[in-house]
Amino acid sequence: QIEEPKIGEPQLLSGPRPQHVDSRTANVEERKKRTAKRKRMRRTPLEAFHLRYLCVTDLSAQVWCEQQAVYHKEKPSVQLPEKTTIVLNTGKSIHLARELQDHNLVPIKTRSREDGWAIKMINILLTITNLRKGQRVRECPVFGVIEGVFVFGIIDQLNYTAKGELQLNELKTRESAYMPVPAQKKRDRFQVSLYKHLFDAMVQGCLTQDIFIHHLHLKPKQSLGQEIQEHAQKAGFMVQCFEDLLELVLLNLTHSDIPAIDSLQIEYIHQKTNTLLGTEVITYNHDELMSMSHYFLAYWKGQRDPNGVDIEDTWKCSYCVFADVCDWRRQRADSLIQKGREKTT
């Protein structure tokens, strides 16, 4: 039976005898802890979020609000408002309906990361085949390395115009029955420009086997799943391991006579009526794209802290699901209060 000690009396705790720790051991432990902390602090956001690559949409989200893009990664469990989820799902259905106009979707079981990437590779091979025939293609995967970071995206549609030029067509669906505001157009312009940059580099033979191994840590000798091998065979490609497929893709890209993308356009569709609200023709500006990419990637590489919206864009905060927890917003509000105080004194 354990007697309850009276308040103020010394308390004797039972338990294992404390281990003797001499000052040298303590110093080593302390040093270990400090090194571990330093390592944690030194981790770049890419490492901290365990990301081997970024999606084009990760970078285009930074055009809207970088802090918001980071919160989406940090707090993935934060629920989007029901209305937003409905809008997103309706958008997905419209995209799917368009995709099904051109090809069927074949469900394939994957059993390794290499299988997952193999599906993207097979889709690229099919894209090359269809573009060579002059056909329209949808959902075309693109990837490449920008400033040391692997970037992946999916182009909605590529087709040849009456003049024989290769055109990228991005579909954006909207809940509102009017064209987007300039801030949304800026984000969309960046997104399609980045697609063009990645696609052009691919067909110009800039991809190497090494980047898939180095950045994505894929195993070249990993044998592909039975379903993947069968599907590839049906499409006319004999492959057994991931490396076979990779070599085939790189060979086809390098020796294909597919041109770079000549023109970029974005179609805005009203979700409810499925009618075209308008089309934006985008002028590709390589220097602007590279400078924006450099700035956005600097965050992911741990070279700077994330930024929230500029003062003239604070209207975006009223639509933001993180508005109540946003440090950037709070700091902005605090500094405004401080400035107000300074003025009155």
The yes or no reply on residue 86 touching ligand SF4 (CB under 6 A) is no
Closer to ligand SF4 by Cβ: residue 138 or 329? 329
Looking at beta carbons, which pairs linking 301-309 to residues 24 or more positions away fall under 8 Å? 301/44, 301/46, 301/147, 301/148, 301/149, 302/42, 302/43, 302/44, 302/45, 302/46, 302/47, 306/66, 306/67, 306/69, 306/70, 307/66, 307/67, 308/65, 308/66, 308/67, 308/68, 308/332, 309/65, 309/67
Please state, in angstroms and rounded to a whole number, the distance separating the CA atoms of residues 62 and 190.
10
Across 261-300, b (16+ Cβ under 10 Å) vs e yields bebbebbbbebeeeeebeebebebeeeebeebbeebbebb
The yes or no reply on residue 124 touching ligand SF4 (CB under 6 A) is no
| Bridge-based pairing state of the strands 263-270 and 275-282 | antiparallel
The yes or no reply on residue 309 touching ligand SF4 (CB under 6 A) is yes
Closer to ligand SF4 by Cβ: residue 88 or 323? 323
Sign of CA dihedral 318, 322, 324, 328: negative
Residue type, 116: G
Q: How far is the CB of 60 from ligand SF4 (least distance, A)?
A: 15
The yes or no reply on residue 328 touching ligand SF4 (CB under 6 A) is yes
Q: CB under 6 A: which stretch of 76-84, 116-124, 185-193, 319-327 binds ligand SF4? A: 319-327
The yes or no reply on residue 61 touching ligand SF4 (CB under 6 A) is no
Q: Which of 60, 71, 114, 173 binds ligand SF4 (CB under 6 A)?
A: 71
Q: How far is the CB of 296 from ligand SF4 (least distance, A)?
A: 15
Sequence length of the chain is: 345
Q: How far is the CB of 259 from ligand SF4 (least distance, A)?
A: 39
Q: Which DSSP state fits 309?
A: -
Closer to ligand SF4 by Cβ: residue 183 or 241? 183
The yes or no reply on residue 308 touching ligand SF4 (CB under 6 A) is yes
Please state, in angstroms and rounded to a whole number, the distance separating the CA atoms of residues 95 and 156.
8
Cα–Cα nearest to 73, from 58, 63, 52, 88: 58
The yes or no reply on residue 317 touching ligand SF4 (CB under 6 A) is yes
Q: CB under 6 A: which stretch of 33-41, 118-126, 128-136, 317-325 binds ligand SF4? A: 317-325
Closer to ligand SF4 by Cβ: residue 298 or 325? 325
The yes or no reply on residue 316 touching ligand SF4 (CB under 6 A) is yes
The yes or no reply on residue 193 touching ligand SF4 (CB under 6 A) is no
The yes or no reply on residue 144 touching ligand SF4 (CB under 6 A) is no
**Residues forming the site for ligand SF4 (CB under 6 A):** 65, 67-68, 71, 308-309, 316-317, 320, 322-323, 326, 328-329
